[in-house]
Amino acid sequence: MSTVPKVVQNLIESFERLPGIGPKTAQRLVYHLLHAPKEEAEALARSALDLKEKTVICESCFNISENTPCEICSDISRDKSIIAVVEDPLDVLALERTNFKGIYHVLHGKISPMENIGPDELKIKELLGRLKTHSGEPSRVEEIILATNPTMEGEATAMYIERLISPLGVSVTRIARGLPVGSDIEYADATTLTRSLEGRKKY
């Protein structure tokens, strides 16, 4: 009876802990690295370390970046009066495939009682802070687009945020139903996302 070497099994188990990677895929990845040139494995290891050591969270929008403020927040051509609120950094990448010219706010999750994730675990307080200047006066933000995923948790998160923002006099809209219910924004094509943004409705 053959046994899998401990170092091989350890790496398989490490890959299995990644989202979307099952046992079979993990095994294929590990055995690919076994037969690949040493330089390929070293490059993968360096990239993984760089990911942790050379990325930061933008102090303004909370997207992942190499600098803070990030490139989007620093871009003077962006429309700072419109903020799209998304669940995760991958949603920013998806919306960037459209012609959206505003800026973003990344919540880093969604309200999910089943997973013990409440509003305090998200970047909601920071979003409210962006709607005021340092002097306490209203900011020049005119519209908040709630672009959370069209899932039960995403809808609950959008409704919660809308209730907090509406009294502040800022327009709150929700992306249209161009996205199938239960789907994730990161997997949507650019055309669908563009239509969703164009067809957003006021809360």
* Residue 3, pLDDT score: 82
* pLDDT per position as a tens digit, 82-122: 999 999 999 999 999 988 999 999 999 999 998 999 999 99
Q: Which residues of 5-24 are buried (b: 16+ CB within 10 A; e: fewer)?
A: eeeeeebbeebeeeeeeeee
Give the integer Cα–Cα distance in Å for 172 and 128.
13
CATH class of the domain defined by 6-53: mainly alpha
Give the integer Cα–Cα distance in Å for 73 and 79.
10
Residue 168 tokens, joined: 């502040």
Q: In what order do the strands lie in the sheet with 82-86?
A: 103-106, 82-86, 143-146, 171-174, 201-202
* Residue 203, pLDDT score: 64
CATH class of the domain defined by 61-202: alpha beta
Per-residue model confidence as pLDDT tens for the chain (203 residues): 458 899 999 999 999 999 999 999 999 999 999 999 999 999 999 999 999 999 999 999 999 999 999 999 999 999 999 999 999 999 999 999 988 999 999 999 999 998 999 999 999 999 999 987 655 556 789 999 999 988 889 989 999 999 999 888 899 999 876 556 566 777 777 766 776 776 676 76
Give the integer Cα–Cα distance in Å for 11 and 13.
5
* Residue 1, pLDDT score: 42
Domain ranges of the chain: 6-53, 61-202
pTM: 0.78
Residue 14 tokens, joined: 């490490």
* Residue 176, pLDDT score: 72
Q: SS in 3 state form for the chain?
A: CCCCCHHHHHHHHHHHCCCCCCHHHHHHHHHHHHHCCHHHHHHHHHHHHHHHHCCEECCCCCCEECCCCCHHHHCCCCCCCEEEEECCHHHHHHHHCCCCCCEEEECCCCCEHHHCECHHHCCHHHHHHCCECCCCCECCCCEEEECCCCCHHHHHHHHHHHHHHHHHCCEEEECCCCCCCCCCHHHCCHHHHHHHHHCCEEC
